[in-house]
Structure 1
Amino acid sequence: MKRELVEHVDEQDRVVGQVSRSEAVQGRLLYRMAMVLVRDKQGRVLVHQRPDSSTRFPGQYSWLVAGAVEVGESYEAAASRELAEELGVRDTVRPLFKFLCEGEMSPYWFFVFEAVVDGEHIVAEPAEVAWHGWLTDEELDKAMQEWLFVSDSRDAYSRYQALGTSTPQPRTT
């Protein structure tokens, strides 16, 4: 397994050093995570289930594609990279909100982006995504009440709802 280097940051999201992600998690050191809310052109949200073999949150659901921001990488670049790695999609991401997340495994800065993609071109990475499907906002709200979602994903959903972020207009390109 490759040693994933991340930037250790402070409470103001300023870089204070470099550590491996496992060191950040074990030491509960702040680092950065980029998340992408993926919608299709009809405005539905992509929800996925993590593989049972995953070391992080096996079998749980998420409404965000996520990953650690690597050393020297911007949040936006990390979000775009995760979109390509996990779903095989290269598309523009747009910033939504950022917050300091206590995190079940470790604390980190959590930056949520959004991408509107052509749902027919998704090629999910099996090591990251066991199942995926498209849900309307109403279906997602119901799933949040009934399915086992990753706790940090649930936290972000509550914040997203509190912001009153509206569904973007579907892209026509």
Structure 2
Amino acid sequence: MTEWVDRVDERDRVIGVVERGEAVRNGWPHRIAVTVCRRADGRSLVHRRPAHATRFPGLHNWLIGGAVAAGESYEAAAARELAEELGVRAHPVPLFTFFCDGAISPYWLALHETRTDGPLRPDPAEIAGLRWCTAAEIDALITAGAFVPDGAEAWERARGVWLRRGT
């Protein structure tokens, strides 16, 4: 299945529509939307990638999401990906967007958050396991090299935002 994405410039302005694989192969920036799931006690949902995954097999991440389709908004993509990967229907709240050099290719990452304590139905093609982690537990996974690199960068940025707003 061909996945069409907006190719964007250094200011996140659309400059064309390309196939996602082509964007990755050529190092062309595109858009990624992700959501972090948090509980009222401050724990964040962390998932482990399947051993058969082509990218980062067996590593942990706290970002649920993926590519923003051509013409799709970051918010719509975040909600769509959350439903596809976890079975959660929500309206994720935008937290911040930043340019990520990316371990695989460069992209603009829009990080959203949602609170959920409800049932989760992870897609086994995307998620091998789930657990709710404290900040210290996530730090330990990152320090041990058991975390997806781009997720680690987003974690550090999000912690700064949460500290500034007191959450």
TM-score range, shorter chain: over 0.9
CA RMSD of aligned residues (A): 1.5
- Give the match's secondary structure for 2:143: helix
Unaligned ranges ≥5, structure 2: none
Q: Which amino acid is 1:124 matched to?
A: P
2:38 is matched by which residue type in structure 1? Answer: R
Out of 37-46 and 12-21, give the one that drifted further. 37-46
Number of equivalent positions: 166
TM-score normalized with structure 1 length: 0.90
> Relative to structure 1, is the Cα distance of residues 130 and 148 closer, same or farther in structure 2, using a 3 angstrom cutoff?
same
What is aligned with 2:114?
115
**Would you say the 8 A contact 2:60–2:141 is kept in 1?**
no
Q: Structure 1 residue 142 and structure 2 residue 136: aligned?
A: no
* CA displacement, residues 68-103 of structure 1 (integer Å, 9 cap, x when unaligned): 000111000000011100000001211111110000
Aligned partners of 1:136, 1:99: CA distance in 2, in Å? 24
Change (3 A) 1:167 1:66: farther
Q: Which runs of 4+ in 1 moved over 3 A?
A: 165-168
CA contact (8 A) 1:34 1:67 kept: yes
1:61 and 1:147 in contact (8 A); partners too? no
TM-superposed deviation, 1:161: 2.5
Structure 2 match to 1:125: 123
Q: Percent of pairs identical after alignment?
A: 47
